Amino acid sequence: MPQSETELMLSGYGLTTAEMFYRMPDYQSVLNSYVWQDYDLAPDYPKLFGFIEFWQDKIEGPLHSVRFCHRKLISPGEWRNVVQEITLH
């Protein structure tokens, strides 16, 4: 059963963005890029690695490299201890 994005974020998922560089099947010296984005769980990244396996099995363009970043969009609020308050006029 698919969950909403908010339910995924509340259960620990974060937004993972991956940029994949791959070689053209007919022109091996040409590199292209593909950007993939989904909600995934760190540090195992099952959806990202599942997509990479799919790419290697089903797509003819061999991967050159993959770089990715992960960010939790719902996190604890920042807290700051204020010791003194100064009022001017």
Quote the CA–CA distance of 48 and 41 in Å, as a whole number.
9
For the chain, the average pLDDT equals: 88
Q: For 18-31, what is the mean pLDDT?
A: 94
**Residue 87: pLDDT above 80?**
no
**According to the model, what pLDDT value does residue 58 have?**
96
Name the band, by pLDDT with cuts 50, 70 and 90, for residue 89. low
Domain ranges of the chain: 5-71
For residue 64, the SS3 value is strand
